[in-house]
């Protein structure tokens, strides 16, 4: 017997993407450079994997926004988040504000690249009317990957500024996703922020944020190379804006540094 929608647990909704979706998003957001051809291939595979879920959602009468939010909540725990030590190692020993600068620049480059590839694919479909119906899946895939990159950036900025979020890996992933939806940092003094992250208001905010991101990517649906140029530029600007907002928020929320130890003079050369 079917479980009424109101009785379903978060994450068990109609959109239950195959393991491949989470694995592909994980590969597309893992630190390190991907060759353009490989990134394009992975985005293509992701679009195909998402198509089946989209068809299932349409068949059951679910809206795209709800389906998109369900998909993202299911894959959020697979987004690779590095701790402070690993971040510093991967960014040439940088710390503090310099490390945060580098994280934002790297994320901008990543979302710009994804936007350029997605925009180019959309432009190609625009120029080939018989294949037009396949373009939305490609743009949905781009939306999912860009959102994952930005959630990863938000989570790692929390590491840089010493704002630690408690909970299991899944709880922290959902909390960071909720923070991304609201474009704000997490308050470490509000422990309920993690347990309430899957509330109705938060899921609505996530759905709206994802749909706005998808809407931004739909503007790349144009002829020739205009899609690639627009896709890359719009993503770069949006990621930069997010990085600035989260950093400003975390500078206020980070815990105060403990006072330096007062050591005897003989221990201080």
Residue 125's φ and ψ, nearest 5 degrees, are: -65, -35
pLDDT in tens, 13-33: 333 445 788 999 999 998 877
Tell me whether residue 5 is in a domain.
Answer: no
As separate numbers, helices (DSSP H) first and strands (DSSP E) second, the chain gives 10, 0
Instruction: State pLDDT tens for residues 179-198.
Output: 999 999 998 777 566 655 56
Domain coverage including residue 135: 17-191+225-253
Round to whole Å and give the CA distance between 165 and 253. 12
Q: What is the pLDDT of residue 199?
A: 77
Run of H or E including 228:
helix 226-253
pLDDT at 37: 83
Domain assignment present for 51 = yes
Give a yes or no: residue 216 inside a domain. Answer: no
On whether residue 231 sits in a domain, the answer given is yes
**Residue 86 in domain:** yes
205 belongs to a structural domain: no
6 inside domain: no
Distance CA 165, CA 118 (A): 33
Q: How far, in Å, CA of 87 to CA of 157, rounded?
A: 10
Q: How many domains does the chain have?
A: 1
Q: Is 22 a member of any domain?
A: yes
């Amino acid at each position: 017997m079917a479980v009424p929608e109101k009785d379903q647990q978060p994450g068990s909704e109609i959109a239950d993407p195959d393991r491949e979706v989470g694995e592909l998003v994980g590969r597309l957001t893992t630190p390190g450079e991907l060759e353009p051809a490989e990134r394009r291939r992975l985005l293509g595979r992701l679009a195909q994997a998402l198509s089946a879920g989209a068809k299932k959602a349409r068949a059951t009468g679910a809206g795209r926004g709800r389906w998109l939010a369900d998909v993202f909540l299911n894959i959020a725990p697979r987004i690779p988040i590095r701790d402070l030590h690993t971040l510093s190692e991967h960014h040439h020993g940088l710390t503090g504000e310099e490390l945060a600068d580098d994280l934002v620049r790297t994320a901008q480059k990543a979302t710009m690249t994804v936007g350029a590839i997605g925009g180019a694919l959309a432009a190609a479909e625009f120029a080939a009317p018989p294949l037009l119906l396949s373009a939305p899946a490609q743009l949905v895939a781009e939306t999912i990957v860009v959102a994952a990159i930005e959630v990863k950036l938000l989570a790692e900025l929390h590491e840089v500024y010493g704002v630690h979020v408690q909970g299991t890996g899944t709880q922290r992933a959902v909390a960071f996703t909720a923070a991304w939806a609201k474009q704000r940092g997490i308050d470490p003094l509000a422990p309920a922020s993690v347990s309430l992250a899957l509330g109705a208001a938060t899921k609505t905010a996530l759905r709206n944020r994802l749909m706005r991101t998808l809407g931004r990517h739909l503007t790349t649906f144009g002829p020739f190379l205009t899609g690639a140029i627009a896709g890359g530029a719009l993503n770069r600007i949006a990621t930069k804006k997010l990085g600035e907002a989260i950093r400003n928020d975390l500078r206020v929320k980070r815990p105060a540094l403990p006072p330096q130890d007062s050591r005897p003079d003989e221990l201080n050369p």
